[in-house]
């Protein structure tokens, strides 16, 4: 046999043996390995991801796979059973094309959404009527609201985005925003609002930073306390849906998400509000009643 052929065969044999050996080595540890996947809302993703990392750190061999993809993806994937958890910014009932039957809702957190404007606008408060007028395109220049003479640039989230649905439902009282530019991520929205004179949009509390100006509505400031007491109406639940009642690792992980430690430490940092802190709860139809969501 020629040398080169010999070398080829040796390589093949070594690879096969190594592969087999590796497979053998794997089977020793794999018995207690488990993995589940959560997919969906990009808003909820950092939270679940952070929690999963902590959970994995505490429980060896556990692997929780957290992916984005949007609420629509989360709901349709959980509906089809492709994943164990579907993250959504919306109630399953609110989403067209989803059959909520058989899906179990786990409200993990509450997120407040606030309008933000570019710093140049110098407006810190708007009435609900003004807000509606702005977003439906009736008011097109800030000077109509006593501000500087700058045309208003509306920036929306993409259609179907949870933040947008929440904002239209509770901020605009069900009015639909006029057709305007759309961005499909909060980061981009913030970036655009901060750099575009006269821009107005909305983001969840977690995304507010110094580069943009949050706006009070009817004198109510967008704070977590105001959300807890439903004085700030533009908020929504962050849901994790399971297909049927959760079992096994999914159940354990959901419990972990809901426990005090996570809810108090992680949530604050990320700008989410713990469901436990809520004084009011809301059904998918929008009916508000006192009491936490628990």
Please work out the total of residues on this chain that contact another protein, with binding judged by CB under 8 A: 70
Q: Which is nearer to another protein, 9 or 23 (CB)?
A: 23
State yes or no: residue 187 binds another protein (CB under 8 A).
yes
Q: Is the backbone of residue 269 left (phi > 0), alpha (psi -120 to 50) or beta? A: alpha
Q: Which is nearer to another protein, 71 or 281 (CB)?
A: 71
End-to-end CA distance of the chain: 75
Query: Taking contact as CB under 8 A, which single stretch among the options 9-17, 58-66, 219-227, 255-263 is the one that binds another protein?
Result: 58-66
User: What gap in Å lies between CA 271 and CA 204, rounded to an integer?
Assistant: 8
Q: How far is the CB of 100 from another protein (least distance, A)?
A: 11
Task: Identify whether the C-beta of residue 264 lies closer than 8 Å to the C-beta of residue 128.
Answer: no
169, two tokens: 């439902």
Query: Taking contact as CB under 8 A, which single stretch among the options 29-37, 131-139, 220-228, 278-286 is the one that binds another protein?
Result: 29-37
State yes or no: residue 271 binds another protein (CB under 8 A).
yes
Task: Identify whether the C-beta of residue 126 lies closer than 8 Å to the C-beta of residue 215.
Answer: yes
Element at 214 (helix H, strand E): strand 213-214
Q: Which is nearer to another protein, 96 or 287 (CB)?
A: 96
- The values of phi and psi at residue 36, to 5°, are -130, 160
x-or-dash string of contact with another protein, 211-250, rule CB under 8 A = ----------------------------------------
Any residues with CB less than 8 A from the CB of 188 and at least 6 apart, and which? none
Q: How far is the CB of 288 from another protein (least distance, A)?
A: 25
Q: Which is nearer to another protein, 43 or 281 (CB)?
A: 43
* Concatenated DSSP letters of 99-163: --TTEEEEEEEEEEEEEEE-GGG---EE-HHHHHHHHTTS--BGGGGTS-S-B-EEEEEPTT-HH
Query: Taking contact as CB under 8 A, which single stretch among the options 136-144, 153-161, 224-232, 242-250 is the one that binds another protein?
Result: 153-161
232, two tokens: 């700030």
Query: Taking contact as CB under 8 A, which single stretch among the options 28-36, 217-225, 247-255, 284-292 is the one that binds another protein?
Result: 28-36
User: What gap in Å lies between CA 198 and CA 146, rounded to an integer?
Assistant: 13
> Using CB under 8 A as the criterion, which residues of the chain lie in contact with another protein when the complex forms?
2, 22-23, 25-26, 29-30, 33, 35, 37, 39, 42-43, 45-46, 49-50, 52-53, 56, 63, 65-73, 75-77, 79-80, 82, 95-98, 151, 153, 158-162, 176, 179-188, 191-192, 195-199, 206-207, 269-271
């Amino acid at each position: 046999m020629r040398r080169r052929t010999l070398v080829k065969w040796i390589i093949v044999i070594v690879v096969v043996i190594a592969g087999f050996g590796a497979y053998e080595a794997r089977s020793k540890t794999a018995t207690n390995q488990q993995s589940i996947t959560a997919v969906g809302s990009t808003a909820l993703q950092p939270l679940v991801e952070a929690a999963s990392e902590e959970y994995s750190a505490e429980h060896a061999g556990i692997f929780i796979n957290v992916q984005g993809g949007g609420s629509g993806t989360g709901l349709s994937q959980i509906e089809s059973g492709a994943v164990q958890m579907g993250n959504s910014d919306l109630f399953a009932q609110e989403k067209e094309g989803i059959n909520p039957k058989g899906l179990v809702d786990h409200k993990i957190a509450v997120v407040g959404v606030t309008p933000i404007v570019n710093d140049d606008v110098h407006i810190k408060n708007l009435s609900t009527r003004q807000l509606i007028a702005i977003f439906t395109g009736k008011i097109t220049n800030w000077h109509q609201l006593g501000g500087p003479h700058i045309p208003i640039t509306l920036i929306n989230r993409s259609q179907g985005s949870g933040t947008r649905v929440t904002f239209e439902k509770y901020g605009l009282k069900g009015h639909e925003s006029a057709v305007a530019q759309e961005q499909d991520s909060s980061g981009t929205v913030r970036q655009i609002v901060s750099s575009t004179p006269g821009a107005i949009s909305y983001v969840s509390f977690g995304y507010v930073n110094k580069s943009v100006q949050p706006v009070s509505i009817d004198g109510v400031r967008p704070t977590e306390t105001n959300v807890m007491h439903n004085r700030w109406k533009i908020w929504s639940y962050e849901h994790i849906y399971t297909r049927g009642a959760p079992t096994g690792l999914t159940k354990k992980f959901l419990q972990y998400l809901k426990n005090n430690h996570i809810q108090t430490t992680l949530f604050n940092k990320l700008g989410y509000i713990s469901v436990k802190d809520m004084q009011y709860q809301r059904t998918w139809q929008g009916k508000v009643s006192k009491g936490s969501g628990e």
